Amino acid sequence: MLEYLLSFLILAGALFTFIGSLGLARLRDFYTRLHGPTKATTLGVGCMLIASSVYFSNRGAGMSLHEVLVTLFLFITAPISAHLLAKAALHLKLESLAPPPDDDPANS
C-alpha cells in the first residue's frame, strides 16, 4: 500500500512540475509566466519532497525532518518571491497582455 502512495506522490509531483515548466516556457508575458513556477512547480516539488520524507521515514529509525523543513521553506518563500517579482515588474511598468482596468467610477 505504501508503494502506491509513494508512486502517486511522485507521479503527481512530476506532472505538476512539468505543467509549471511548460507554463513558464509557453506563456507570453511576465505576469502570466510568473504563475508557472509559483503555483504548479511548487506543488510538484512539494509532492516529491513529501514522498521522499515518507519513504525515508519508513526505512530509517525515525521521521525524516529534512524534507519536511525544505517543503515548509519552499511553501513559505515561493509566494513571497512571486509577490516581490510582481511588485518589481509593476514598478518598472512592464507591459501586460491584459487590458488595464477602467479608473472611471461612472462605468462601474
For the entire predicted model, the pTM comes to 0.78
Q: Is 53 exposed, middle or buried (0-12, 13-18, 19+ CB in 10 A)?
A: buried
**Residue owning grid cell 523543513:** 69
pLDDT for 88 equals: 95
pLDDT for 6 equals: 96
pLDDT for 107 equals: 62
pLDDT for 95 equals: 87
Q: What is the mean pLDDT of each run of 10 residues along the chain (108 residues)?
A: 95 94 88 84 90 87 81 89 92 85 66
